[in-house]
Amino acid sequence: MAGGPQPGTDTRSVKKDDRSVLLVADQDPIRERRWRSAGVRLTSCDREGQRLHQLIVRTRPNWLILGEALQDKQITSAMVDVRRSGQGTKVALLGTKDDFSRCERWVRFGVTCYLASSSTDARIMQALSVSDEQSIVIVDACFQERLTELVRSLEPRPILSQRELQLLMLVAAGLRTEEIAADVHLTGHTVEFHFRNIISKLGARNRTQAVARAIILGLITSAECLAGNTLS
């Protein structure tokens, strides 16, 4: 993912919400009922541009999901409609796992969530929820490696101290401020001070984003985070 954690692999439970989603795909009553049971108002429509524009204006969706069958011209038109509506609708795009260039191109153009077309409905709902909660761009794990290489080649690599890297790995391991302070023998105030600096250096909004960006930029590794390792 770009700038954030990957959607979880356990899709058995999906948090209920009051999200409205417009899906550009053939109508499927069973699928719509499945989304409604998770608290998501799903509206399906075909790929005709005029009808899509009307639905965006009428339904005011939180998300517009575009399938892999859409051509670039249709995707561009849909995204222009979303921006002109001024309703803050986010765009999610589905694509085949072997087409990284399409993923990279549309994330650059403003797609907020890019998932493999093989994703289950539960996984799609989970990704949308994570993106909303964390205010981050979601990119499916199957595109992660090549996207990470691209980000590293384009963005400057911030310099973090050994202490800052240590704290990042501890928060990634799930520790709270008080637990981190006790582990590294600092006061909670000092830990908070370090995290403000970390977040600023990485251009993040919160600790979760800071961890994600540090991993993408190669400052820390996922394995280190999972193990909760510290630096001496």
Q: What predicted TM-score, i.e. pTM, was given to this entire model?
A: 0.59
Task: Judge contact between 121 and 34, C-beta under 8 A.
Answer: yes
Confidence band (pLDDT; 50, 70, 90) for 170? very high
Tens of pLDDT, residues 190-211: 999 999 999 999 888 888 888 8
What pLDDT, in 10s, does the model give residues 34-58? 898 888 888 888 765 557 778 888 8
Q: What is the per-residue pLDDT for 10?
A: 39
pLDDT of residue 62: 92
Res 31 pLDDT > 80: yes
pLDDT, position 67: 86
Is 209:134 a contact under the CB 8 Å cutoff?
yes
CA angle in degrees (0–180, nearest 5) for 30-91-156: 140
What mean pLDDT, rounded, does the chain reach? 80
pLDDT, tens digit (0-9, with 9 covering 90-100), for 57-66: 888 899 999 9
pLDDT score for 6: 41
Say what the pLDDT of residue 222 is: 59
Reduced DSSP (H G I as helix, E B as strand, rest coil) percent helix, strand, coil of the chain, to 5? 55, 10, 35
How crowded is residue 147: how many other Cβ atoms within 10 Å of its Cβ? 19
**CA proximity to 20, closest of 64, 80, 66:** 64
Pick 9 or 156 by higher pLDDT.
Answer: 156
Q: Which residue has the higher pLDDT, 104 or 112?
A: 112
The domains located in the chain, with CATH, are: 19-152 (3.40.50.2300), 155-227 (1.10.10.10)
What are the structure tokens assigned to 176, written together? Answer: 């709270």
